[in-house]
Each structure stands twice: as structure tokens, then as C-alpha cells.
Structure 1
Amino acid sequence: MVNMMDNEPSSELELDEPLGRVPILSYGSGHMLNDITSSCWFTYLLVFLTDVGLSPSDAAVVMLSGQLADGFATIFVGELIDRFGHFKLWHAGGSILVAISFSSVFGSCLPCKLMGTNSSTLETVGYSTFASIFNVGWAVAQVSHMSMVNCMTSNPTSRVALVSCRNAFTMIANLSLYGIALLIFSLLQSVSVIVQYRWIAYVSISIGSCFVAAFLIGTKEPVLNQPSQNKSLSRISWAHWFKKVLYYQVALVYMFTRLVTNVSQAFLAFYVINDLGMHQSSKALVPAIIYVCSLIVSVMLQETRWSSRRLKCYFSAGAMLWILSGVGIVFLPSRMHNFMYALSITIGAANALMTVTSISMEGVLVGADLNGCAFVYGSLSFLDKVSCGIALYILESYQGSTKISTNHESSVGYSLTRLGLGLVPAVCSLLSAMVAYTMDLPDTRRRLLVEPLLG
């Protein structure tokens, strides 16, 4: 009994200690496979599906089926992790599912080969099936990875550093994807679109799997029930969170943030090619610039001393940058398409500021209630996936039926792609900033990391 009582304070002190560089970097690498496949999913899936012959409405169905499967999976996975723990085991299982199914999403229609027909209905069902499997695995890996943050440390600055490092690896993953795509589009111009995307999928999976292995080897399995929670070892009920006003505020901020990043990523390739008339390489180059800027800002954020007030201020700054960028996208004439590179810089900075701080707000919401952390991350992810799926479905469906011409020589053509890319993220940014302003976040202590991540 004496030993147990002696261990409790020491364990609490250990959990409260700032994390060093190695565990933070090891943790951040764990979402690399999810990130590189997600980047390919949102950037090229709709373009790929329409290139291989699906109508925009059928391509929207494939996207929506994957998003819905992802959303519902997060709820069940969050509940199971809260019950049984074993974060790394869940993460490994989800990553295996992602690696196996992703190549099939961007490969040929397997049911069509088995049935010996290429009907549009069968193609839609085939791609939707593999999209759903992929997104279930993606959700398992995502929820288990995000839920680890609050169990690895109770130090507020280290928690933000973990999120910021994860976001930095997200930028690396996206840059890797666009580098791979640019190389394959340049070297394999003579082969079919299916073969090009199949190679992109294979290379992306190989790179992401290496980082997953590094994460599993280098990250210590966190303990779900910390000694400080021995007085309340039972799982926290869902009703506990539903009674908190802050839960709904954080949920709205996170949902709007994900709408900003996902909608903009999904329609960026269409916009630069069809609306601005830029070269084909721009559908890799423009997103690459965005993620270079996001990477730089994310690394800078790792060195920031955080407080609740700064979380709200930095988030609002990112939202304002996106509003300005959205206005620029709507009114940018095609003859001035090179200005898109400047807009890419502000978009990249805005994405990093909003993503890092919104996820960090989730950590503030969870606080020390570790026995319910997976439900929080899972339920908010559910809201994110369903809302993004519905938004992309509506925009892509109307894109197929709405023909608004764009004059590439002079004036601005207000196509649905242009309006969707410019207005939807801008409006979501404005709404999220308004919600963030009303938040009453618990104040956090500001501590530096043991080792600065920039060396």
C-alpha cells in the first residue's frame, strides 16, 4: 500500500513533465500513412473518377460513401478505445487496412472485372465499396492516434507540441504526395490515367508504411487510466460531454476547420486547370506551395508558449487569412493566374494556424478526463467526416449539372468550382472565428519543451 501511494505522485509528476524532442517526433510520424493517402484522396479522387468515365454525380456518391463510413467508424472506434485502450494495436490494425484497400480505390474496378461488365452502376458500387473500407481503416488509425495525446502527457505546451508536430508531418506527407504525383505525371505521360494513379498509390503506401513502423517502434504505449484517475476508473459517459457548452463550441470550430481544408483541397485541382487555365503541373505545384508554407508555420508554432487566449487569437488570425484568400480566389482573373502562387502562401499559413489550434482546443476540452478522450476525438471526427462528405457531394453534384463558362483570356468566370473554393472556406472561417470568440477555454499553464524542436 505504501508503494502504491508513493508511486502515484511520482507518476503524476512524470506525466506532467514536458516531453523531449524524440517522443514528440516519433508520435508525429504515426499519422504519415493516413496523411499521404488522405491528401491523394481529397486532391485527386474526384478528378481521377471523372477521368476514368464516372459522371460527376457518381463520383460524388463514391466520395460520400467513404466519408459516411469514416464518420460512423469513428464513433464505434472511439467507444471501443475508451473501453479497452491499446492505442498502438488499433493504430496498427487501421494502418494495415488502409495500406491494403487504398491501391484498390485508385486501381481498376475489381467487381467490373469479376462480372465482365463496365456498367456505370457497377463501377460506382465497386469504387464505393473500396472507398468505404479504406475510410474505416483510416478512421481507426486516426482516432487511436489523436486519442494518445492527452494520455502521453498532461503538460499543456507538450500537448500542443504533439499536435503541431503531427501537423508538420501532415505537411511533409502532402508535399511527398505532390512530389510523387508531379514526377509520375511527368515520367509516365504515355500510359493510362489508371496506371499513373496506381503508381502514385503504391509509392505513397510504401513511404507511409515506413513511418508507421517508426511510430510503432519508437512510441511508448500510453496508459489509459492514469493513477490520478483511480478515484474514478469508470468510463466517462457520453452525457458528461453533451452537458458541456464547450463541447459544442469546439465541435463547431473543428468541423468548420475541416470543411475549410477539405473542400479547398478537393476543388483546388479543378480550379487551377479549368478556371485559371494553368498548366497541368500546377495541380501539383500549387498544393505543394500551400503545404510548404503550412509546414513552416507548423514548425514555428511548436516553439510558442501557449495559453487559452493565444489559442483563440492564433485561430482567429488563420480564419482572417482564409477569408482574404477566399475573396482573392473568387475575383482572380484567369489572365492573372500567376497571382494564385501568392494566394497559396496565405492559404498555407491559414491552414496551419487553424488546424493546429483547433485540434489543440480538443485537448483543452478533454483536459484530465482521459477515460473519455477517444469518444471526444471520435465524435468530433464523425461530425467532420459527415459534414465534409455532404458538402463535397452537393458541390460535385451541382458541378456536373451546372455549366458556367470561364473566359480564360480576360474576365472572371464565376463557375461553381470558383465559388465553392472561394466562398465555402471563407464563410466557414468566418463562422468558426465567431464561435471561437465566444469560447471560455480553461486557462492553461505555459511551459517550454525540454528540448526545442528546431534544435
Structure 2
Amino acid sequence: GRSAMPYNDKTEPLLGVPQPQSVTTLTWSGFNDENEGDYDVDHLGETEPGPPVLRGRGESSGSEVEAGNGGTASSSGVAPRLIVSYGLGHVLNDLSASIWFFYAVIYCQQVLGLPPDTTGAVVLIGQVVDGLTTPLVGYASDHTRTPIGPRKPWHIFGVCCVALTFPLVFGGCSIGAEPGNALRAFCPLKPWQGGKAQMGLLVFFISLFQIGWASSQVSHLALMPDLSKSRRERTTLSSVRYGVTVACNIFVLLALSVLLAREREASGGGSGGGGCEGGVELTSADQPLFQSLSWTVAAVGVLAACGFYAGVPSHPRGRGGSRNEPRLSSSGSPLPDASIFEDALFWKHGLLYMLARLMINLNMVYMPLYVQSTMRMRRNAIAVIPLLMYVLSLLGSGIQNVMNEKFGRVQAFSIGGALQVVGSLALFFLPRRVSWMMYVIAPLIGLAGTSMLVTVISMTSDFIGRRNLSAKVFGLYSFSDKLCSGIAVYAIQSSLRCGDCCTNPSCCSVFYRYVLGLVPLGAAVVSFAILLLWRWSKLRRRAAVMKRDQSTLLLDPTDSIADVKTWSYGGL
């Protein structure tokens, strides 16, 4: 595709010059924020001779137009069956992560009775194990060769680990096991007992759960570039993936809200007052509730994984040509694997991904505690408010294709960041007497998370392109995300000096207001700063190119700036 082929100023081949026998399509993103200066080359096979076709921003590589004598356009998209099957592959992770992020802190503190700093340490250990496992699995996945492909073996391993250990993290027993019945022997964790042995088992099960979770997550993310061949298809898969995540969160939160409401009716609990006697906080008596929910999550997730294995091909790289074709740099030379660390886009997308995940994770972890301690809402509101967050997120995930096509990646990400800023400020200043406003603010925050995460995953998939680096890149990004989130939760929990929130509710109220109102806000502001810095750098590069084009124009005053650009880009 980089042969020395002479062209005139109309990008037509000159007569009498031997032409190559294959048509090559060059995708130039110009000054596009997502892939600035990169080219994506698709070899269309043996056809009539003709000049390279230069595609601009927004033109899908899934619809190729053959240049030359009467070429016709042909397009292909991801089959609906494949889209559905791909979405099912992360159901178990999504269901378990919903309980883990929303209720790990509140479960350890109020059901198991662990101190706040110990709770933070438990969460940090899980996140560190997950983060360390993620890049290792990413590297291994990119270098695995099995009859069922490189991704599925690691996904199967992850599903087995999660399904077997997650119910032991939240509950530690088989369904129906209690201290006084015959099934108590099926409780390896024995959550009704304290001690170092139980604490060690809890950490052990959490570690295995996180290893399995990371294996499934990385292998599933790595399939996205393998299954798609255009920006639009990658956005579709990313939106479906996040839509399934939202649907799983809705399922978990709806089930928990129903269980909490039934338990409250059975016990005749109050509507929530100023202390624990009002029925706001959870207790050790709620352990069977989480136990039943965790086993249900494991069963549903395993069934969904079976649908994923049946519908997704083991070797998807064969679709749309070889997936090992090299990605070209702005100079046209193939980019080696190691060069991703020298590419500014790798660091830009990594920081944006880490900040988006940090913002979403902290919203998930501390929203129930904010609702419980700061707003003093009803007991089942710790499930209803997060449920509303994800209802609007599910609707928002369906319009991400339109937003990305209409506004572009950066603008779509910025819209989500702006919504997060508004939501965080509203939570910080919201008085308790108007706690009903939570039913408006929470969905706004959910929509912000959808816009930011879907867009940054699509940006990353665009950056990966055709290189066999998807698991490696997503593994490194996930490592930074999980380590950052774990450290943040540990730091927040260690700074909690209120003691028992039942006896000191005003201290806890102020603490969680500051946490949920300021920390996600800071993540969104830093994201904006990165985008502004990138925009400033891009404008400087644009000015340099314009200056070079004007110098070229002086060599031939009969040509216009547009003619010079057309010739230079077409010839390139």
C-alpha cells in the first residue's frame, strides 16, 4: 500500500506507468481525537487497478468501495445472534460485580461487623489481586493457542472460579444453612463466628473470586476487536456489553429491594428514623438474604455463559480478513507491539478509562451508604436508588451509537463528564428534607457513567485496531483501574473516624456527603483536564501542518490550499 505510484493533482494514476493489481483502502483520521495520525489498511484482494481510496472520519471500514472500473460497495455487520451471544459472556461478572461494588463495604461493616479500616483492607486486597491478575491474563490470552481459540479457555477458567467462590464470599454457606440446623456443616466461612480463621478464609475466597473475575473480564473485552472490523461495530458491541451490565445491575438491585421490603414487612420494621432503631442499617440477621442472592447470581451467570460459548466462534479473527495485519503509524510503517507504550493515545485512553471506572466504582460503593447515612431514607432505598441509576443507564446505552456518530468520541465522553459534575454537586449540597430529589439525581449519575465508559472502551478498541494486542491493552487498563479503585476505597475507609454510625449518625452523614459529592467530581474534572490538554496539543500540531501546507503552496502558486492538501493526502 506504500508503493511509489505517481499521481497528478487529481489523485489519478498517470498513463504509461505500471499499476499494482490490488486495491488498497487507506483510512485517514486526520486530526480526529481518537486515532490521530494513524492509518488502517484493508486489503481488498485482486481487483481492477486503481488508486488508493482515502476514507475520512466516520466512514466505516465495514463498507468498502472498490476503486477503479465500476467498483461496487459491499457491507457486512455483526450478526444479531453474535451480538446477543457476546453480551451473555459477561453476565456472571456483571451480576457478581453489582453485589461486590454496591454492597461489599456495607456487608462487611454491618453484617459481618468488621471495623471500617479492616473493611477497606479487605476490599483493597481483592482489588490488588484482581489488578495483578488482569495484565497476566491479558498477556497469556494473547499468546494462547488452543483448539477453542485464545480467549475462551481463560473465560471458562474465570467462570468456574467466580461461580464456585462468590457465594462463599457473600454468605459463606449453602442455601438454607444456619447455625442451628443440620446444614451448618456446609458453611466453610461460618459468618456468624468471628476470629482469624474466618477472616483468612474470607480473604482467600475473595482472592479466588477476583482471579476468576479478571480472567473472564479480560478475555471478554479482548474479543471485541476480534469480532468487529469497523468503528460502528465496535461501538455496537461496547454498547451491548454495557447494556447487559446495566441490565444485570437492575436484576440484582430489584431482587434485593424486594427481599429487603419483604423482610421489613415480616419484622414490622419502621420507615427509617434517626438511628439504628429506625430500621435503616443492616444487621447480621440479613446474612441469609445475601446468601440466597449470591447463589441465584451464580446459577444465572453460569447459564448465560453457556449461551456465550454456543454463540461466539472460537476463532473470530477470520472474519473480515486477517486480524494480524499490522497497524500503520503516521509514517506508514508497521507499529511493533512495544510501540504502544510510546504512543500518546495509549496513555490518554488509559487515564480516561481509569478515571471513568474510578468514578463509576465509587458511585456504586458509596451510594447505598449515602442513601442510608446521609439521607436517612427507607431501608430498601439502598437498592431502589441504585436501581434508578441503572434504569436510565440502560436507556442511555442504546443511544451511544447515535451520540458517537453525531458528536464524536470526545464530545460524547465530555457530555458524560458534565452530567457527573452536575450530579456530584447536587449530592454535595442536597439537604435531607428534600431527599426525594435522589430519585432524579441518581439516574443522572447513571447516565453519566454510561456515556463515559462506553465511549472510552470504544476509543480503546479503535486504538487497538487490527493488532493482536486487545487482551494486553485492556489488561493493563483494568490493572490501573482496579488498583486505583482499591486504594481509593481503602483511603476513604481508613479516614472514617466516626465509630458506630448508629451512635454517631451526624458524623457519618457529613462524611459520606463529602465522599460521594467530591471524589467522583474530582475524577470527572481531571478527565476534562486531560481532554483539554490533548486538544491544546492537537491544535499545535494542526498549526504546524498548516504552516507546512502553506510553504508547499508557495512552490506552485497556481494551486489552492485545497488542491495541495488533496494531492499530498491522496499521494500519501
Please give the TM-score of this superposition, normalised by the length of structure 2: 0.69
Deviation at 1:207, TM superposition (A): 1.8
Change over 3 Å in CA distance of 1:181–1:99 after alignment to 2: same
Q: Which residue of structure 1 lines up, in the alignment, with residue 566 of structure 2? A: none
Pairing partner for 1:157 from 223, 226, 232: 232
Deviation at 1:120, TM superposition (A): 4.3
1:396 has 2:460 as partner: no
Pairing partner for 2:170 from 60, 82, 106: 106
SS of residue paired to 2:522: helix
Counterpart residue type for residue 172 of structure 1: A
Distance in 1 of aligned mates of 2:134 and 2:353: 15
Q: 1:97·1:133 contact (CA, 8 Å) conserved in 2?
A: yes
Change over 3 Å in CA distance of 1:413–1:193 after alignment to 2: closer
Identity, in percent, stands at 28
Change over 3 Å in CA distance of 1:108–1:236 after alignment to 2: farther
1:359 has 2:359 as partner: no
Change over 3 Å in CA distance of 1:292–1:264 after alignment to 2: same
Q: Which residue of structure 2 lines up, in the alignment, with residue 241 of structure 1? A: 340
Deviation at 1:434, TM superposition (A): 2.2
Counterpart residue type for residue 229 of structure 1: N
SS of residue paired to 1:229: coil
Q: Which residue of structure 2 lines up, in the alignment, with residue 202 of structure 1? A: 295
Q: Which residue of structure 2 lines up, in the alignment, with residue 32 of structure 1? A: 91
Q: 1:57·1:400 contact (CA, 8 Å) conserved in 2?
A: no
Counterpart residue type for residue 332 of structure 1: L
Pairing partner for 2:520 from 409, 425, 435: 425
Distance in 1 of aligned mates of 2:387 and 2:199: 30
Deviation at 1:114, TM superposition (A): 8.1
Deviation at 1:124, TM superposition (A): 2.9
Q: Tell me whether 350-359 or 177-186 shows the greater mean CA deviation.
A: 177-186
Q: Which residue of structure 2 lines up, in the alignment, with residue 445 of structure 1? A: none
Pairing partner for 1:93 from 139, 157, 180: 157
Q: Which has the higher helix share?
A: 1
Distance in 1 of aligned mates of 2:528 and 2:167: 38
Counterpart residue type for residue 252 of structure 1: L
Q: Tell me whether 107-116 or 13-22 shows the greater mean CA deviation.
A: 107-116
Distance in 1 of aligned mates of 2:469 and 2:153: 18
Change over 3 Å in CA distance of 1:386–1:220 after alignment to 2: same
Counterpart residue type for residue 232 of structure 2: T
SS of residue paired to 2:453: helix
Deviation at 1:22, TM superposition (A): 2.3
Change over 3 Å in CA distance of 1:187–1:379 after alignment to 2: same
Change over 3 Å in CA distance of 1:394–1:19 after alignment to 2: same
Deviation at 1:397, TM superposition (A): 1.8
Pairing partner for 1:176 from 251, 264, 269: 251
Deviation at 1:144, TM superposition (A): 0.3
Q: 1:101·1:133 contact (CA, 8 Å) conserved in 2?
A: yes
Distance in 2 of aligned mates of 1:228 and 1:133: 33
Q: Tell me whether 118-127 or 27-36 shows the greater mean CA deviation.
A: 118-127
Pairing partner for 1:82 from 142, 157, 179: 142
Q: Which residue of structure 2 lines up, in the alignment, with residue 42 of structure 1? A: 101
SS of residue paired to 2:405: coil
Change over 3 Å in CA distance of 1:433–1:22 after alignment to 2: farther
Q: Which residue of structure 2 lines up, in the alignment, with residue 374 of structure 1? A: 471
SS of residue paired to 1:19: coil
Distance in 1 of aligned mates of 2:509 and 2:373: 11
Q: 1:184·1:200 contact (CA, 8 Å) conserved in 2?
A: no
Q: 1:312·1:437 contact (CA, 8 Å) conserved in 2?
A: no
Q: Which residue of structure 1 lines up, in the alignment, with residue 531 of structure 2? A: 436
Deviation at 1:228, TM superposition (A): 5.7
Q: 1:82·1:374 contact (CA, 8 Å) conserved in 2?
A: yes
Deviation at 1:347, TM superposition (A): 0.7
Change over 3 Å in CA distance of 1:403–1:419 after alignment to 2: farther
Unaligned runs of 5+ in 2: 1-21, 23-42, 47-60, 65-74, 174-184, 268-283, 328-333, 539-572
Structure with greater Cα Rg = 2
CA distances 1:383-440 after superposition (whole Å, capped 9, x unpaired): 0010000001111122255789665xxxx98622111111111110111122134447
Change over 3 Å in CA distance of 1:41–1:244 after alignment to 2: same
Counterpart residue type for residue 58 of structure 1: T
CA distances 1:60-101 after superposition (whole Å, capped 9, x unpaired): 111111101100111110000111152122112211111111
Q: Which residue of structure 2 lines up, in the alignment, with residue 263 of structure 1? A: 362
Change over 3 Å in CA distance of 1:155–1:230 after alignment to 2: closer
Q: 2:62·2:77 contact (CA, 8 Å) conserved in 1?
A: no
Counterpart residue type for residue 530 of structure 2: V
Deviation at 1:345, TM superposition (A): 2.0
Deviation at 1:219, TM superposition (A): 1.4
Deviation at 1:214, TM superposition (A): 1.3
Change over 3 Å in CA distance of 1:439–1:363 after alignment to 2: farther
Distance in 2 of aligned mates of 1:65 and 1:118: 22
Q: 2:231·2:458 contact (CA, 8 Å) conserved in 1?
A: no
1:134 has 2:231 as partner: no
Unaligned runs of 5+ in 1: 442-455
Q: 2:243·2:398 contact (CA, 8 Å) conserved in 1?
A: yes
Distance in 2 of aligned mates of 1:114 and 1:320: 44
Counterpart residue type for residue 393 of structure 1: Y
Change over 3 Å in CA distance of 1:164–1:251 after alignment to 2: same
Distance in 2 of aligned mates of 1:316 and 1:351: 11
Question: Relative contact order: is structure 1 or structure 2 higher (C-alpha 8 Å, sep ≥ 6)?
Answer: 1
CA distances 1:301-359 after superposition (whole Å, capped 9, x unpaired): 2455638x611001101101101111111111111111111101211211111111011
1:288 has 2:288 as partner: no
Change over 3 Å in CA distance of 1:304–1:20 after alignment to 2: farther
Counterpart residue type for residue 217 of structure 1: A
Q: 1:112·1:122 contact (CA, 8 Å) conserved in 2?
A: no
SS of residue paired to 2:171: coil
Q: Which residue of structure 1 lines up, in the alignment, with residue 123 of structure 2? A: 63
Q: Which residue of structure 1 lines up, in the alignment, with residue 313 of structure 2? A: 220
Counterpart residue type for residue 208 of structure 2: I
CA distances 1:231-260 after superposition (whole Å, capped 9, x unpaired): 79xx98663221111111111100000010
SS of residue paired to 2:324: helix
Deviation at 1:362, TM superposition (A): 1.0
Q: 1:62·1:124 contact (CA, 8 Å) conserved in 2?
A: no
